[in-house]
C-alpha cells in the first residue's frame, strides 16, 4: 500500500501521524504486505526531523501560516498576505507530488502544511483521511473536512462541529499515542531516577510543561512547593533551559522535603514509568497530553496554554472538567488556585480513584488501531 502522510509543525500533529504510520506498517507486515510512505511537510517543521529519524522519504512544499486576530482586519497583516500567496504554490507542488507518487490514500493530521497536500489529493482524486486531535477543529482540518473521504476525530463532541454533509463520513477514533506509554512500571521509575527518598505512603505528583518546560507552571509550583512537598512526592520536569534557576530555588527547601523532590530538565525514555508512578499530574492540556493521561486514567490539574491556537487547550481541559475527569485553572491562574485545585486530590485517595475512572472512560488507548482501520477502509474505496 502506498501512503502519503502530511501534518506537522508541532508534536501534536507530527507524533499521531508517526504512530499511525508505525501501526499501519505492523498491520500490513502481519499479513505479508508492505507499506510505502512519503511524508510531505516543511523543511523547518518537526516532521522533517521525525521523518529523517524514521527513514521515511520526505518531500517539501510551500505553505503559509495564518496568524489569527480578534480584529478581522488583523487577518490582513502583511505577514498573512505574504503567506496566503504561498498557498497556491504549495497546492501546485503537492498536486505534482501526489500525481507522481499515486498513493492509495493520503492521511492529513493537521498543521498548515496539511492544507496544500490535502487539496492536492482532492485535485488528483485520491482518497483523503483527515485526523483531528483536539476537541475543536483546527483551521487546516476545517478546510479539508469538506474534501475528505473520511474524517477521524478524537472526541465525539467534535462531530457536531463538522458540516452536516461530513458527519456521516466521520469516525471517532481517539488520538493515537505511543504504545510504550501504556506499559510503564512505577518500580522502574524509582530505579531510573533514584527516587529512594520518596515516601511510599504519600501520593506522587508529576509536574510537566512539555519537553521544553513551562515557565508559567514552574512559577506556579514554586509558589506552593513547601506545601506540596508536605503532602506528596514530586517529580518536576522543568525544561533544560530552566533547570539551573529552579535548582537555585530548591536550595532553600528543608532536607526532609528536598528528599521528596526530584527536579529534572527533561524526562526521556523513562516517561512511561514516571506516568505509571504518578498519582496526580500537573500539566498543560494539549491534545497529546490529554490522550495519554486519559488512556492511562490519570487524575490531572491542567494549566492550559493561553496562547494555543483557537484557545484549544482551554477547550480540551474544559471538556474533561465537565466530565469530572480532571480539574483545571480556567479562570484564575495563580499559585493559590493551583493549591486549591490540587489539595482535594492529594488529601483523598477515593477522590483520586473516582477521577481516574472518569478519565479512563474518556480515553481511547486503541486509537492508533482505530485510525489504521479508517485509513485502510478509505484506501479500499
* HEC profile of 78-99: HHHHHHHCHHHHHHHHHHHHHH
**One domain for residues 151 and 127:** yes
Contact 48, 41 (CB under 8 A): yes
* Mean pLDDT of the region 3-11: 91
**One domain for residues 78 and 219:** no
Find the domain containing 24 and state its range: 2-176+365-379
| Cα dihedral 228, 229, 231, 232 sign | positive
**One domain for residues 149 and 200:** no
Q: Share the mean pLDDT of the chain.
A: 92
**One domain for residues 341 and 371:** no
**One domain for residues 113 and 198:** no
Q: What pLDDT score was predicted for residue 306? A: 85
Cell of 189: 521509575
pLDDT tier at 79 (50, 70, 90 boundaries)?
low
Task: Kindly report, residue by residue over 218-267, the tens digit of the pLDDT.
Answer: 999 999 999 999 999 999 999 999 999 999 999 999 999 999 999 999 99
**One domain for residues 189 and 264:** yes
CB atoms closer than 10 angstroms to residue 99 = 12
CB atoms closer than 10 angstroms to residue 289 = 23
**One domain for residues 120 and 7:** yes
Q: Which residue has the higher pLDDT, 352 or 11?
A: 352
Residue with cell 502522510: 5
Contact 91, 120 (CB under 8 A): yes
Here the CATH number for the domain that contains residue 265 is 3.40.50.2000
Beta strand residue intervals within 34-159, DSSP E = 36-41, 58-60, 105-108, 128-132, 150-153
Residues 6+ apart with CB under 8 A from 316: 134, 135, 285, 286, 287, 290, 302, 304
Distance (Å, whole) CA 76 – CA 67: 9
**One domain for residues 285 and 355:** yes
pLDDT tier at 70 (50, 70, 90 boundaries)?
low
Distance (Å, whole) CA 184 – CA 186: 7
pLDDT at 22 over 90: yes
pLDDT at 99 over 80: yes
**One domain for residues 34 and 151:** yes
**One domain for residues 158 and 296:** no
Q: Provide the number of structural domains found in the chain.
A: 2
Please tell me the least confidently modeled range out of 147-151, 155-159, 228-232, 321-325: 155-159
Task: Kindly report, residue by residue over 183-201, the tens digit of the pLDDT.
Answer: 999 999 999 999 999 999 9
Q: What pLDDT score was predicted for residue 206? A: 98
DSSP string, 361-378: HH--TTHHHHHHHHHHHH
Q: What pLDDT score was predicted for residue 309? A: 66
Q: What pLDDT score was predicted for residue 172? A: 96
pTM, two decimal places: 0.88
**One domain for residues 189 and 168:** no
Backbone angles phi, psi at 294, to 5 degrees: -75, -35
Buried b (16+ CB within 10 A) or exposed e, 164-186: eebeebbbebbbbbbeebbebeb
Q: What pLDDT score was predicted for residue 380? A: 80
**One domain for residues 273 and 231:** yes
Cβ-count burial of 40 within 10 angstroms (0-12 exposed, 13-18 middle, 19+ buried)? buried
Task: Kindly report, residue by residue over 273-314, the tens digit of the pLDDT.
Answer: 999 999 999 999 999 999 999 999 999 999 999 877 668 899
Amino acid at each position: 500500500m502506498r501512503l502519503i502522510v502530511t501534518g506537522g509543525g508541532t508534536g501534536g500533529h507530527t507524533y499521531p501521524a508517526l504512530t499511525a504510520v508505525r501501526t499501519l506498517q505492523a498491520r500490513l507486515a502481519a499479513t505479508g504486505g508492505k507499506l510505502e510512505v512519503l511524508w510531505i511537510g516543511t523543511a523547518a517543521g518537526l516532521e522533517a526531523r521525525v521523518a529523517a529519524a524514521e527513514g521515511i522519504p520526505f518531500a517539501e512544499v510551500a505553505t503559509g501560516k495564518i496568524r489569527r486576530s480578534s480584529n478581522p482586519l488583523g487577518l490582513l497583516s502583511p505577514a498573512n498576505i505574504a503567506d496566503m500567496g504561498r498557498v497556491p504554490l504549495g497546492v501546485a507542488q503537492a498536486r505534482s507530488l501526489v500525481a507522481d507518487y499515486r498513493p492509495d490514500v493520503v492521511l492529513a493530521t493537521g498543521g498548515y502544511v496539511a492544507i496544500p497536500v490535502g487539496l492536492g489529493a482532492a485535485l488528483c482524486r485520491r482518497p483523503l483521511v483527515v485526523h483531528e486531535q483536539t476537541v475543536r477543529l483546527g483551521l487546516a482540518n476545517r478546510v479539508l473536512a469538506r474534501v475528505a473521504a473520511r474524517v477521524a476525530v478524537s472526541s465525539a463532541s467534535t462531530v457536531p462541529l463538522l458540516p452536516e454533509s461530513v458527519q456521516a463520513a466521520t469516525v471517532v477514533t481517539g488520538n493515537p499515542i505511543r504504545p510504550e506509554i501504556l506499559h510503564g512500571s512505577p518500580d522502574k521509575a524509582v530505579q531510573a531516577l533514584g527516587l529512594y527518598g520518596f515516601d511510599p505512603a504519600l501520593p506522587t505528583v508529576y509536574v510537566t510543561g512539555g519537553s521544553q518546560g513551562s515557565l508559567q507552571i514552574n512559577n506556579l509550583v514554586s509558589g506552593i512547593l513547601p506545601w506540596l512537598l508536605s503532602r506528596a512526592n514530586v517529580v518536576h520536569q522543568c525544561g533544560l533551559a530552566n533547570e539551573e534557576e529552579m535548582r537555585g530555588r530548591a536550595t532553600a527547601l528543608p532536607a526532609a522535603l528536598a528528599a521528596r523532590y526530584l527536579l529534572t530538565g527533561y524526562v526521556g525514555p523513562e516517561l512511561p514509568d514516571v506516568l505509571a508512578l504518578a498519582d496526580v499530574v500537573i500539566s498543560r492540556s494539549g491534545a497529546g497530553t490529554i490522550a495519554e493521561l486519559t488512556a492511562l486514567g490519570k487524575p490531572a490539574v491542567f494549566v492550559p496554554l493561553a496562547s494555543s491556537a483557537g484557545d484549544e487547550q482551554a477547550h480540551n481541559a474544559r471538556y474533561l472538567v465537565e466530565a469530572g475527569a480532571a480539574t483545571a485553572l480556567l479562570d484564575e491562574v495563580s499559585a493559590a488556585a493551583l493549591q486549591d485545585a490540587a489539595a482535594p486530590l492529594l488529601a483523598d485517595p477515593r477522590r483520586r480513584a473516582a477521577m481516574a475512572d472518569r478519565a479512563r472512560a474518556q480515553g481511547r488507548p486503541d486509537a492508533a488501531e482505530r485510525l489504521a482501520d479508517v485509513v485502510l477502509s478509505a484506501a479500499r474505496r
